Amino acid sequence: MPAVVPKELRQAALHWLAEPDPLLKPAGVIALRKTWEQGEMSLETERLLQVLQPIPGRPSRPELVSHLALPRRSMRTGEGRAALLHALAHIEFNAINLALDAVWRFPGMPREYYGDWLTVAAEEARHFSLLSEHLGTRGYAYGDFAAHNGLWDMVEKTADDVLARMALVPRTMEARGLDASPLLRAKLAQAGETAAAEIIDIILADEIGHVRTGNRWYNWICGKRGIEPVATYAWLAEAYQAPVLRGPFNIEARRAAGFTEPELAALAVLK
């Protein structure tokens, strides 16, 4: 018998974070957002929650390996294009977990914070479903290719501090997706994957909003703690060993996502 979904938002986010099924998780998260928006969920912002199941919940496949162990496949082959679509689907599946973790893990934030990250989780769930369904039209399914765990590694590193989480997951790891999207879209379109390229358009539009959410709450926390955002980010990136930023950068998308002009100017000297 399926477990009952809690009626409190942060507990419900933890419930769906622990769900391993790649069909149930996205559907459940989308339904949770609807229930929240209809005013049918409570929210306990100060409660410290206990993890009673392994997180994040993942299916038995795909096999998780080092990113260095993933084979390079040519976009000239159907298998190569499917592998790319699978990699994108895996990123979105992880992104559902990232957003759910931001909801349940950090007490003491404003009500709007939890609603914002639930919205992100629901949009990531939609992205995963779009890519997974499109992969199915190519004769493949999520789990058919190996994948890596890089995104969740940073979630674990920043589990101790919501400031570090906002700085280094949405503003760093997910912002890299803004930079990568134009090239990915061009590759897919050139290979005749028109429908997949259109899915990338949907994802990029939403991801700008997700990174903007990260910027909003990062700057809010900096303001509340009385610390300077740019210098603090540089310190956090070093302290938590965040990936080094490398171009090319999607400056237009980053500006729309809320990065400041001094931050964008600093990117101009990076390669």
Residue 227: CB atoms within 10 A of its CB come to 12
Q: What does the pLDDT look like over 153-196, one tens digit per residue?
A: 899 999 999 999 999 999 999 999 999 999 999 999 999 999 99
What is the pLDDT of the chain when averaged over all its residues? 94
Task: Identify any residues that bridge with 64 across adjacent strands, giving them in sequence order.
Answer: 147
CA atoms within 13 A on the CB side of 116: 18
Q: What does the pLDDT look like over 24-64, one tens digit per residue?
A: 999 999 999 999 999 999 999 999 999 989 999 999 999 98
Residue 271 in this model has a pLDDT that exceeds 70? no
Q: What does the pLDDT look like over 119-131, one tens digit per residue?
A: 999 999 999 999 9
Tell me 170's DSSP state: I
